[in-house]
Amino acid sequence: MTRREAREQAFILVFEKSFNEQAEITELIELAKEFGVVEDDEFLEALVTTACDKQSEIDEHISSNAKGWKLNRISKVSLAILRLALAEILYFEDIPAGVSINEAVELAKKYATDEDASFVNGLLGTVARSV
């Protein structure tokens, strides 16, 4: 599986987690694998686990850089994409920030609106420059 495919499957899991906040992410991953929603992939699992385990820190970055936006006003799709991309930018040193931003924008174009893609691009660019 390519990293792009892994990111897309990771997005599905992080998006699902936003509707089942009490669920353990490891359980969601195992169920998704069992039902064929996601493939078994080390990068996918590391990305999803990091995004969920570090969610409060990641959300702090989102909140402090989303001028005029509260987390509850950001669509769940955009929020899931932002959380994944920021997990990569902040905790995966081997992945260039530009790659994470580009992949996030592509996910936003596919699953959200053009406005969401612009918002994701702008916010991630701001965070990447500040860290």
DSSP per residue, 75-91: -HHHHHHHHHHHHHHHH
Give tens-digit pLDDT for 76-130: 999 999 999 999 999 999 999 999 999 999 999 999 998 999 999 999 999 999 9
Query: What is the per-residue pLDDT for 69?
Result: 86
Homologous superfamily (CATH) for 3-130: NusB-like (1.10.940.10)
Query: What is the per-residue pLDDT for 83?
Result: 98
* Domain ranges, ordered by start, for the chain: 3-130
Query: What is the per-residue pLDDT for 35?
Result: 95
Task: Please give the average per-residue pLDDT across 47-72, as a whole number.
Answer: 95
Confidence at 131, pLDDT banded by 50, 70, 90: confident
Those residues whose C-beta lies under 8 Å from the C-beta of residue 63, and which sit 6 or more positions away, are 70, 71
Query: What is the per-residue pLDDT for 68?
Result: 85
Give tens-digit pLDDT for 15-27: 999 999 899 999 9
